[in-house]
């Protein structure tokens, strides 16, 4: 499998020449807004609220992916009273989200932190069967003039009574429990829940042990009814407690969910009904085997003894509540015979099916098994995840033997638990069961037995037992076709294609029309053009409609370089009442040869290069007004394509065959794509319209958006790659897939114009978009790229009423824009794909060996003359004149100095590009130089700390100098020389002595120093209190003493007692090593380099949305600061090992220069070290406090200063990607301008070299066209 390779930062530059063109009279975008009266086809078929291709997401009611109906379990009236037939739910949150009243059961012994199987049914109004609530609510006005009702109002039927168990009635205790008072504070909810439970027990005989819960609103109640409890007893308990529940009194308020708390209460009470009686070894009793529906009463009757005697002979804890089918019980005194379960006759292990109140201890006790035996017997049993949890209905082994089949469950879509599954033939074990009942399209089968293509279905998570079908707690597991990678892509296509659809009916629009003859002129790299659409006649001949006939004649008669393909069908033709049956009939056995012959004849007659079928969709079950054709339709389609392929292969020349595929599991699953692939040259894979106005109100449409109406891209990367994985896993080679891109956007009216993120909301309703209709496409919610570009151009030029802001969202790989055209600011939000984004996607798909891309549609991307006559009085852009606008960089100067001197040699409209080019190239050089800090400079930063520490005593001597040291004012002293002696303030000391032979000088400081000493020490030297101590210190005068030559020289010394010194262990001194700042700056430096390079590229392409002067100002300041750092790096490299001791101060200052230059790039790292001011204290320690390089500290120690502001406006989450280039660069340039013009006081705090280059940039900008 081939994977997408990463794209490194480009370090060389593409200097492209681009001609800029303006649209013609067809007539650009109207500036007078209208809300209706449009003539476009988009308006006629309401494309604003109808997807071009119905959605590509699995939704709530897809029976392959969920057993729920409209987000709730099936109706109790449909499933009946047996919990075994209720809907299985594995997430308590799903119960909470269902607003209907519910009944449910679960294993009360499962731990709350483990997943559990919950069997539930709904008591409220709702639909009986799973039905997709998305497509059946798209009701087109051509079919009826009403809107469909999303909620059925049919009242629920009563629960059907169950059969009597046939046991003698023997009243025993029943238990009622409820959730916490904080949850059931609304007494009406609790009372209603009690009513539902009472109704259940009244209508159900309650055979066996029964633990049932009811949920209504925020209340959860549970009832345990013992095996021999008449249902009337449980009903009476509920009636007696209803009043208390309604008052909301007597409720505890512990921590936990309402379901868990109620379950816990029931479990405690259930355990309290019994006592534990230890077993004693006795003689074997007369025994009988427990059969289905047995109770203590029925067993006593079968033994022929009284119930009291039966309980005397069978003393196990809670025997009547824990009877197991196939276990033995005593009918006389003694122990149960050693009836350890034995394998069945066919070799299958002895099986046992879990019920609600089971736990492993009970099962082992009942069947005389050890824990090791239980685990050993089940190591290959399907779904065995150990004792916690045990799932109701789970089949386990209680003996050695072959693996049993697991229980089969209604609603399961895949795997061995699907209804009607037969065991594999021959020998098999539990691991072989995973292969049974694969999902359509080879989609993932989750551990719960549902099909899907996303992480909740596709991630394997084997449990600790390693048993087949088991998975970790809190996860869904995967048993078949797991993983979400794009596969089947080892081979590249012969040629990577660029297919574009041409909507031949685009002439219906009032503007934005395109003539077929304009295709090649504006899209010279198109490889395939699909003419949309041809139709069928009732006798299965080809029909070219009147509205497209003229364009078709030009299409077939034109001498074009691209592959000319006729497309049949489309959404409207496939679903409209007058035409949908033609496609169903054309592929039937009796018609398919005739239809294929007619198509072949048509291709040859018009010399077409290929044929494409866009039948939407064979086998679909839920398209309004279109009857379900069943599975046979897709098979008929396959057989028709086989016939068509045979005719094409036998034709006079090579012609292609293709079909359109939906990017939706629901609609794609009927297609036998793995069998179609060998017949087809390529598939048109419609990966767009993944989101839209139709998501409104659908809580399942968008993850993390419970109301559905969140601003999401209809072409987002995540969903696109998910459906590409789906189709390649289904058996289609990537080289035969042309991946969809779009030339239109899906627009929305923003609920809050200031909120544009993926969690922000849009307005309108399911079928109504309040977004402005494009004035050419004419429908709110759907707008062409050409219209968006024109709106943006009007806004940039200051056209009255127009405003816009656009940006690129990297996460979703989509372009986004907010805009308005009516003077109300930016009211609408749209996601679309610019040409650059489409090119980037094309590159990614090519790397993944896909066959090409398919664009809907070519006539939506740009402005053209269309089929209208040009007005001779108007000036149109001619491509022959394009050379006048080309910016040829071949002769541009490559440095600031030469560019300023020769600026007149560069065309005025190219000077901004030329300046950016110089800045970007110099930035790359500086970044490369700076990166050398990461290579071999660790030793320099190791020396840095020692250099600073070793300088401390020198600084202390200056601070405490007897003559003028500022530290002396904080002490009293005693002093003595051969000439003087005294004591007092240290500032009054006199150490007079002979210069030639001074003798001893003794100075003693009295401790402690006065208040303020340590503050003064730090202020003057940068040395902290913790770094110093007081001790005696002696210094001898001159060179080594030789008394024979200089008698008495050994007495020439200076002793200072209680003198301030650096602490002896300098390892205890922590000097902030600025290496961390250097390291942390690298990612932001790289990101700015990428932005600079990308911006220059967009300038060259003529598509940048920002002022050239703003771009230059924004990039110049961080560049020049980085260059200052680079110069210091060069100087450090020049200082050799032998010079390092002599030039300690220089090295420290150079390192600080680097640090101060890049602090704005380092973010939190600088703050963690105390900011620039704290770091600058090192310069004070080495005695360079007045160094000119430190003037920048005042700037970089302020997070609001220009360097920080510029980077904050360009980088990160709030930078250019969010704001868009125009606003981000403008804000950054404003921050630079706040420092003033070259020569200002604020700018003088920067280095001389910085100021010189800044002046050059401003001189060049003054000569640019703005």
Nearest to 847 by CA among 526, 500, 492: 492
Contacts of 593 (CB under 8 A, 6+ apart): 643
Contact indicator for 231, 204 with CB cutoff of 8 Å: yes
Question: Hunting for tokens 């989609």 — which residue is that?
Answer: 443
Q: Name beta bridge partners: 452.
A: 444
Question: Hunting for tokens 């909810």 — which residue is that?
Answer: 189
Nearest to 693 by CA among 676, 678, 677, 708: 708
Specify burial of residue 662 (Cβ count, 10 A radius: 0-12, 13-18, 19+): buried
Nearest to 291 by CA among 322, 327, 319: 327
Q: Report angle CA 1255, 1256, 1262 to the nearest 5 degrees.
A: 90
CA distances to 438, 950, 1002 from 1055, rounded to whole Å, are 93, 21, 5
Q: How many residues does the chain have?
A: 1266
Specify burial of residue 904 (Cβ count, 10 A radius: 0-12, 13-18, 19+): exposed
* Beta carbons within 10 angstroms of residue 614's beta carbon: 24
Specify burial of residue 534 (Cβ count, 10 A radius: 0-12, 13-18, 19+): buried
CA 444 – CA 461 distance, rounded (Å): 13
Collapsing DSSP states into helix, strand and coil, what is residue 599? helix
Contact indicator for 837, 745 with CB cutoff of 8 Å: no
User: Parallel, antiparallel, or unpaired for β 1053-1062 and 1001-1005?
Assistant: parallel
Question: Hunting for tokens 């208040």 — which residue is that?
Answer: 1011
* Catalytic residue flag (residue 616): yes
Q: Where are the alpha helices (DSSP H) in 904-1036?
A: 911-931, 938-950, 952-959, 1013-1021
Residue 800 carries which DSSP code? T
φ/ψ of residue 467, rounded to 5: -75, 150
Q: Name beta bridge partners: 69.
A: 72
In sign, the C-alpha dihedral spanning 1213, 711, 688, 698 is positive
Q: Name beta bridge partners: 737.
A: 683
CA distances to 518, 541, 895, 1096, 1232 from 913, rounded to whole Å, are 31, 57, 13, 7, 20
Residue 64 carries which DSSP code? T
Tokens describing residue 107: 């294993």
Tokens describing residue 1011: 């208040």
Helix (H) or strand (E) holding 158: none
* Marked catalytic residue, from 260, 518, 616, 787: 616
CA distances to 75, 123, 174, 194, 700 from 101, rounded to whole Å, are 10, 5, 23, 11, 20
Rounded to 10 degrees, what is the CA torsion of 905, 911, 916, 921? -10
Q: Where are the alpha helices (DSSP H) in 606-690?
A: 631-649, 665-668, 673-676
Tokens describing residue 1211: 């980088």
Q: Report angle CA 917, 919, 924 to the nearest 5 degrees.
A: 95
CA 237 – CA 198 distance, rounded (Å): 9
Contacts of 145 (CB under 8 A, 6+ apart): none
Q: What is 1040-1058 written as a DSSP string?
A: S--TTTSTTGGG-EEEEEE
CA 94 – CA 1079 distance, rounded (Å): 47
Residues annotated as catalytic are 616
């Amino acid at each position: 499998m081939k994977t997408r390779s990463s794209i490194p930062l480009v370090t060389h530059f593409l200097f492209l020449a681009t001609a800029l063109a303006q649209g013609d009279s067809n007539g650009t975008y109207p500036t007078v807004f209208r809300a209706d009266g449009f003539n476009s086809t988009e308006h006629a078929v309401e494309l604003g609220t109808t997807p071009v291709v119905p959605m590509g997401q699995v939704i709530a009611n897809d029976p392959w992916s969920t057993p729920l109906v409209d987000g709730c379990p099936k109706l109790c009236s449909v499933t009946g009273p047996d919990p075994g037939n209720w809907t299985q739910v594995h997430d308590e949150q799903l119960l909470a989200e269902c607003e209907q009243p519910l009944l449910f059961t679960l294993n009360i012994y499962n731990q709350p932190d483990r997943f559990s199987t919950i069997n539930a049914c709904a008591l409220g109004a709702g639909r009986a069967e799973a039905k997709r609530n998305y497509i059946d609510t798209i009701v087109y006005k051509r079919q009826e003039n009403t809107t469909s009702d999303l909620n059925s109002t049919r009242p629920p039927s009563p629960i059907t009574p169950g059969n009597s168990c046939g046991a003698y009635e023997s009243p025993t205790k029943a238990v009622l429990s409820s959730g916490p008072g904080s949850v059931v504070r609304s007494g009406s909810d609790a009372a209603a829940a009690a009513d539902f439970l009472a109704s259940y027990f009244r209508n159900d005989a309650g055979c066996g042990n029964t633990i049932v819960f009811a949920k209504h609103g925020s209340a959860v109640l549970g009832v345990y009814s013992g095996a021999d409890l008449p249902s009337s007893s449980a009903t009476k308990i509920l009636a007696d407690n209803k009043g208390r529940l309604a008052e909301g009194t007597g409720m505890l308020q512990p921590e936990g969910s309402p379901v868990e708390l109620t379950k816990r209460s029931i479990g405690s009470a259930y355990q309290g009904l019994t006592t534990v009686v230890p077993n004693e070894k006795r003689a074997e009793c007369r025994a009988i085997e427990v059969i289905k529906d047995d109770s203590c009463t029925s067993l006593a009757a079968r033994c022929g003894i009284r119930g009291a005697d039966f309980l005397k002979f069978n003393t196990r804890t809670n025997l009547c509540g824990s009877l197991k089918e196939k276990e033995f019980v005593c009918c006389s005194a003694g122990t149960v015979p050693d009836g350890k379960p034995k394998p069945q006759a066919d070799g299958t292990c002895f099986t046992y099916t879990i019920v609600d109140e089971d736990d492993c201890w009970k099962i082992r006790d009942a069947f005389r098994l050890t824990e090791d035996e239980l685990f050993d017997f089940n190591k290959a049993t399907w779904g065995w995840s150990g004792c916690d949890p045990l799932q109701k209905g789970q089949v386990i082994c209680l003996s050695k033997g072959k693996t049993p089949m697991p229980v089969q469950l209604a609603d399961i879509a895949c795997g061995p638990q699907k209804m009607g599954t037969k065991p594999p033939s021959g020998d098999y074990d539990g691991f072989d069961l995973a292969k049974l009942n694969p999902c359509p399209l080879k989609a993932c089968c989750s551990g719960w037995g549902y099909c899907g293509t996303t992480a909740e279905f596709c991630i394997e998570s084997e449990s600790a037992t390693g048993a087949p079908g088991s998975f970790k707690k809190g996860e869904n597991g995967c048993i078949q076709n797991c993983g979400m990678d794009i596969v089947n892509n080892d081979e590249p296509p012969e040629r990577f294609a660029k297919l574009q659809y041409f909507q031949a009916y685009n002439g219906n629009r009032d503007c934005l029309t395109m003539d077929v003859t304009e295709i090649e002129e504006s899209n010279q790299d198109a490889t395939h053009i699909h003419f949309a659409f041809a139709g069928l006649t009732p006798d299965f001949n080809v029909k070219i409609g009147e509205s497209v006939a003229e364009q078709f004649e030009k299409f077939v008669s034109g001498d074009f370089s691209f592959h000319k393909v006729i497309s049949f069908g489309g959404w409207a033709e496939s679903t409209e009442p007058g035409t949908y049956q033609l496609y169903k009939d054309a592929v039937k056995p009796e018609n398919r040869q005739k239809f294929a012959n007619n198509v072949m004849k048509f291709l040859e007659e018009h010399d077409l290069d290929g044929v494409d079928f866009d039948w939407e969709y064979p086998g679909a079950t839920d398209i309004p007004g279109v009857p379900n054709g069943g599975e046979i339709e897709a098979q008929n389609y396959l057989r028709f394509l086989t016939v068509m392929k045979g005719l094409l292969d036998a034709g006079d020349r090579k012609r292609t065959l293709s079909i359109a595929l939906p990017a939706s599991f629901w609609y794609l699953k009927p297609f036998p794509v793995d069998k179609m692939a060998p017949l087809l040259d390529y598939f048109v894979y419609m990966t767009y319209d993944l989101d839209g106005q139709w998501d409104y109100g659908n809580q399942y449409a968008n993850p993390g958006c419970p109301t559905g109406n969140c601003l999401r891209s209809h072409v987002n990367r995540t969903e696109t790659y998910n459906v590409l994985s789906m189709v390649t896993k289904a058996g289609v080679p990537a080289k035969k897939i042309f991946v969809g891109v779009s030339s239109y956007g899906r627009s929305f009216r923003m609920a809050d114009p200031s909120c544009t993120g993926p969690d922000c909301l849009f307005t309108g309703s399911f079928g109504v978009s309040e977004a402005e209709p494009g004035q050419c496409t004419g429908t709110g919610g759907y707008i062409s790229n050409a219209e968006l570009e024109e709106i943006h151009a009007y806004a940039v030029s200051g056209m009255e009423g127009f405003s816009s802001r656009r940006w690129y969202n990297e996460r979703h790989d989509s372009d986004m824009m907010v805009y308005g055209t009516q003077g109300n600011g930016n009211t609408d939000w749209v996601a679309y794909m610019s040409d650059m984004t489409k090119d980037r996607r094309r590159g990614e798909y090519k790397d993944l060996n896909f066959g090409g891309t398919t664009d809907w549609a070519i006539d939506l991307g740009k402005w053209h003359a269309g089929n209208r006559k040009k007005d001779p009085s108007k000036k149109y852009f001619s491509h022959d004149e394009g050379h006048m606008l080309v910016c040829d960089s071949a002769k541009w100067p490559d440095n600031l100095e030469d560019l300023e001197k020769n600026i007149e040699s560069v065309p005025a409209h190219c000077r901004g590009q030329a300046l950016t080019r110089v800045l970007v190239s110099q930035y790359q050089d500086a970044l490369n130089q700076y990166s050398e800090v990461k290579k071999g400079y660790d030793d320099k930063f190791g020396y840095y700390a020692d250099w600073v520490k070793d300088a401390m005593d020198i600084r202390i001597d200056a601070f405490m100098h007897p003559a003028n040291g500022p530290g002396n004012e904080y002490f009293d002293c005693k002093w003595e020389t051969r000439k003087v002696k005294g004591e007092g303030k240290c500032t009054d000391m006199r150490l007079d002595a002979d210069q030639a032979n001074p003798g001893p000088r003794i100075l003693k400081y009295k401790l402690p120093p006065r208040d303020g000493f340590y503050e003064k020490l730090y202020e003057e030297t940068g040395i902290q209190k913790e770094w110093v101590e007081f001790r005696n210190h002696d210094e001898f005068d001159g060179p080594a003493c030789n008394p024979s030559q200089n008698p008495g020289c050994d007495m020439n010394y200076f002793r200072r007692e209680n003198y301030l010194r650096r602490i002896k262990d300098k390892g205890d001194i922590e000097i902030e090593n600025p290496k961390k700042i250097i390291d942390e700056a690298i990612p932001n430096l790289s990101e700015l380099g990428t932005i600079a390079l990308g911006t220059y590229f967009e300038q060259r392409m003529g598509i940048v949305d920002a002022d050239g002067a703003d771009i230059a100002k924004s990039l110049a300041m961080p560049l020049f600061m980085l260059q200052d750092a680079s110069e210091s790096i060069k100087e450090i490299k020049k200082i050799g090992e032998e010079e390092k001791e002599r030039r300690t101060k220089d090295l420290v200052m150079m390192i600080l220069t680097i640090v101060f230059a890049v602090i704005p790039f380092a973010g939190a790292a600088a703050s963690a070290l105390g900011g620039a001011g704290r770091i600058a204290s090192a310069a004070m320690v080495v005695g360079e406090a007045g160094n000119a390089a430190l003037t920048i500290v005042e700037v970089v120690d302020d997070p609001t200063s220009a360097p920080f502001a510029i980077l904050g406006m360009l980088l990160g989450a709030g930078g250019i990607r969010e704001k868009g280039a125009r606003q981000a660069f403008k804000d950054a340039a404003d921050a630079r301008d706040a420092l003033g013009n070259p020569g200002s006081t604020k700018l003088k705090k920067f280095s001389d070299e910085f100021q010189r280059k800044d002046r050059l940039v401003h001189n060049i900008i003054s000569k640019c066209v703005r």
